[in-house]
Amino acid sequence: MKKIFYLLLGFLFLSACSDETIVNEVSGTIYKNCDNSTYGYAEIALKTNRGGSFSDPIILGGDVANGDGYFQFTYELKESEKGTAELILSNPDGYTVLLDDLPLNRDIKTNIYIENKSPVSIKLSGSRVFQITDTLFIGVKNTSIKEQVVQPTNGVIATLKINVPNEYKSTTQKTIYYGVGTSDFQKSKDALSIPDSVYQHVSLQLKGCDVSEQVDLTIN
């Protein structure tokens, strides 16, 4: 009987040790835009998503950013608790999701931009000599961006500012399409919906304000 009792105590001890409480830290700086104008005194919180160990969302912790936009807070969870969370910004209408699908039980350090735009330089090369009547149109799939350059010459001809969501350790794919003249431009736009077509469009991964990208267009 004593042997069973001690075995039971040992099992309970091991169970308790295997489900320790973990203290996690969330920190970062929140900016208004890519000019690094900080968003001071913003109310930030970490809210769980449904799923994993959480049948209903709960607020795990939060902070009010200082005047420089810096926030820092900790939260505690059992080691066995699993799931994902959102970093949210409180506002008069409720809240705005700043970052989604954040892993729980892990320290997070990040910069966040309310207006997060990736700068993309468009560089033209090739043997074609454009005339005064030629206009190069450039667009971005699923956006209202439409740039046009009359009689372009080789070199950097435009810089696009493309909105992307804030991502945690990941990127956003965007596709740029182009054409000389309105009919060719429309043809390249229509080609986006054709599987395996690469007609006059380029896909790239964008990371937001922190990283500039360049797209090379070769037109002969």
d(CA 58, CA 40): 25
Q: Is-same-fold flag (20-113; 117-218)?
A: yes
Give the mean pLDDT of 57-62: 91
Mean pLDDT of the chain: 89
Q: Can you name the CATH fold of 117-218?
A: Immunoglobulin-like (2.60.40)
In which band, very low, low, confident or very high, does the pLDDT at 17 lie, cut at 50, 70 and 90? low
Q: What percentage of the chain carries pLDDT values higher than 70?
A: 91
Q: Locate the domains of the chain by residue range.
A: 20-113, 117-218
Using one digit for the tens of pLDDT, what is the confidence trace for 77-96? Answer: 998 888 899 999 998 889 99
pLDDT for the residue numbered 18: 59
**This prediction's pTM:** 0.77
How far is it, in rounded angstroms, from Cα 63 to Cα 44?
5
> Domain 20-113's class?
mainly beta
131-156 per-position pLDDT tens digit: 999 999 999 999 999 999 999 999 99
Separation between Cα atoms, residue 159 and residue 161, nearest integer Å: 7
Give the dihedral of Cα atoms 70, 43, 36, 142; nearest 10 deg.
Answer: 140
CA terminus-to-terminus distance, the chain: 89
Q: Alpha helices of the chain — where are they, by DSSP H?
A: 2-17, 182-191
pLDDT at residue 194 in the model: 94
